[in-house]
Amino acid sequence: MSRVVHREEELVAERSAGGALSADPSGECPVMSPAVAFPPASPPPGGAYGRGGMLGGMLAVIRYSVPGARADEFAAQARAILDLLAAQPGYLRGQIGRSVDEPALWAVVSEWEGAGYYRRALSAARMVMYPLMTLMINEPGAFEGVYALPGEEANAGTPGKA
């Protein structure tokens, strides 16, 4: 039986031996978001992960598969999502990208002070994001910063710095 726990949001999902998700010990239904964070197996050589480690922020990547006929509609809705996320506490920067190799693949990428800020922002943006959920690629999308090139780590959590 594997278990995923994210303490900041008190989310617990258990996978039973049969492969089905079961309720957490509190009796609530498990909740899965487009960005479920999985704990790291071990810290990188020479430094620790996450808080108190080399970097403290997180990168959120939500990818979408958008048919060509819906590209303009998607772009407008994605801008509304990014605008709403940008107004939330803990937001550092973000952008919307489109694959140069596969034009149907899009991404909403944002940087946050931490996973808790991002998860609360997702809750605030849920209604704006809802129309695009059918286009969302279901995969983990929350990444904690673990390494930056020397000289760049000082700017990793500073808005407006590259």
Tell me the residue type at 154: A
The alpha carbon torsion through 139, 148, 101, 137 (nearest 10 deg) reads 10
Taken in order of first residue, the domains within the chain and their CATH numbers are: 1-32 (no CATH), 33-38+50-148 (3.30.70.100)
pLDDT reported for residue 55: 61
- Tell me which of 46-50, 137-141, 149-153 is least confident: 46-50
Burial 30-69 (b: 16+ CB within 10 A, else e): eeebbbbbeeeeeeeeeeebbeebbbebbbbbbbbebeee
**What is the DSSP code (8-state) at residue 114?**
-
Tell me the residue type at 25: P
Average pLDDT over residues 122-130: 94
Average pLDDT over residues 107-114: 96
Average pLDDT over residues 137-146: 93
Query: DSSP letter string over 9-74?
Result: GTEEEEE-TTS-EE--TTSPPP---SS-----SSPPTTS--STTSS---EEEEEEEE--GGGHHHH
The band of 146, judged by pLDDT with boundaries at 50, 70 and 90, is confident
pLDDT tens-digit readout, 44-89: 444 444 343 446 689 999 999 999 999 999 999 999 999 999 999 9
pLDDT reported for residue 148: 78
pLDDT tens-digit readout, 15-48: 333 333 333 344 433 333 344 333 444 444 444 4
Q: Which residues contact 149 (CB under 8 A, 6 or more apart)?
A: none
Query: pTM for the full model?
Result: 0.62
Average pLDDT over residues 115-129: 94
pLDDT reported for residue 153: 57
